[in-house]
A and B are shown apart, each in its own frame.
Chain A
Amino acid sequence: MIELTSVKKSFAKQEVLKDVSLRVNDGEVVVILGPSGSGKTTLLRCINFLERADSGLMNFGGNEIDLRKTKKKEILYVRRHSAFVFQNYGLFAHKTAIQNVMEGLTQVQKKSKADATKIAEDALSWVGLLDKKDYYPSQLSGGQQQRVGIARAIALKPDVILFDEPTSALDPELVGETLEVIKKVAKSGITMVVVTHEMSFAEEVADRVIFMDGGVVVEEGKPDEIFYRPKEERTRQFLSRIMPVDSYVI
């Protein structure tokens, strides 16, 4: 379980997160929606400290963490119990697909090379890329790179996987294969927090949808509540801009 309380974050004088609270239960798939600049990516990055929040509390799997003065040990704990899937894949450029997946297993989880290889091969075959295991990221398509990124995340058996707009950098025809893999992850029961613009995907996999705008959580609820019966005017406006007219009801 992850629980964020009153998270605040500013860049220079720009307040990006204004008192955001959020709870993600074990096994839950939470999708965060919102216009660009709403703070959704920053919020996600604050969870595993790629961005440092200015203040707030986080309960990560029972560990109470003060975001204002987080200890190195706490940061490492959270990072070692979570995984992150990047918008621009974030694969280690000098490592092959399988080395990318093995890195955390051997260096962080201190698994033997044989064990790590086995786990990495399983993860790669799970995302359908075992045949590409010795390819470098530069030799893979965007969709394939992102699937390796997902394999790297699931191989670590984290408590939660954080997805930061995982399909935004992809060519349209590669979005589908990547979303299929993410759906597969969702169905496997891993806790997930996903920032995305893929509405139909959100509707299909999300247990709960959170709509953010201007650094605050505007509304949250089950996907059909948010998409078809939004309570807030801002949610309605946002949806009307990005969803085809006939697919939602005001």
Chain B
Amino acid sequence: MSFNVSSFLESLISAFKYAPVTLELTAITFVVSLILGTFIATIRHYRVPVLSQFFAIFVTIYMGLPMMVALILYNLIFMTFYNDFAEAFHISVQISDINPIFIGFFALILGTSCSISESVRGAFRGIDKTQYEAGYSIGLTKFQTLRRIIFPQMVPILLPGMQNSLIGLLKASNLVSAISVIEIMTGALLPALLYYSYLEGYVAAALVYWIIGACIELLAAIAEKNSGKYLKRTVG
């Protein structure tokens, strides 16, 4: 038994073919989760009555749920109740015609929003209270102060954590294979199913993930270099 280069290349091509699925899952989930997570963190930071308590409890409970469990749970709920639901609302689309990727989006977005909201809350705590007061004192509204003074200063604090979240998300996105969405990993294994070239398949998948991961890290490094120029960040 040896490493079969042609199987490997075949797997690699197949993995790249399905890379857009992973990229789509990662990018869309990240952007939506960043918005939702910031929203949750802002509500909690300003202690908006009812909503902030609700999100505090929700985030605490939800953070304990493994992504895989959530994914399979939502999938099972969907499978079990879709037909009744479709009947009740007169939806004629067959369950087999629905792309399970939306369940993947749902699970990934919920989980990532919760973890990002905690990072954003941390970033809020990194901003001195005088920054708010200075904004208010020149006559900015609460919202203007948040948008023009507080959020921009949170960006450099958030970048390392967001890079972490993004790469974590890239890696977590392959869990959707459990609900039969084909992405990089399952894509790379398609040829392996024919030739039993699993080693080649997994190496190809690893390589593609690694390339995308390296690109994210590179972009994050550039972003980090260009943000927070105003901070005295070097020690010594």
Contacts and interface: CB of A to CB of B under 8 A. Distances in A.
A89 B153 CA distance: 17
Contact of A136 (B133, B140, B230): B230
B137 A50 contact: yes
Interface in A57-111: 76, 79-80, 82-84, 86, 88-96, 103-104, 107-109
A34 to B, nearest CB: 21
A48 B230 contact: no
A82 B230 CA distance: 28
Given A92-B149, A94-B152, A94-B153, A79 B230 contact: no
A115 B49 CA distance: 41
A17 B196 CA distance: 81
User: Which secondary structure dominates where chain B touches chain A?
Assistant: helix
B231 A84 contact: no
Contacts of A109: 139
A49 B141 CA distance: 13
Residue picked from A79, A84, A90, most chain B C-beta under 10 Å = A90
Residue picked from B138, B148, B149, most chain A C-beta under 10 Å = B138
A86 B230 contact: no
A40 interface: no
A39 interface: no
Contacts of B2: none
Contacts of B140: 103-104, 107-108
B231 A108 contact: no
Nearest to B153: A94
B125 to A, nearest CB: 15
A152 interface: yes
B51 interface: no
Nearest to A137: B230
Interface in B139-196: 139-141, 144, 148-149, 152-153
Contacts of A137: 230
A83 B148 CA distance: 18
A192 interface: no
Contacts of B231: 93, 138
B138 A104 contact: yes
Interface of A: 48-50, 76, 79-80, 82-84, 86, 88-96, 103-104, 107-109, 136-138, 152, 156
Interface of B: 130-131, 133-141, 144, 148-149, 152-153, 228-232
A-B pairs, top 10 by smallest CB distance, nearest first, are: A104-B138, A90-B134, A84-B137, A80-B139, A136-B230, A108-B139, A90-B130, A79-B139, A138-B232, A94-B153
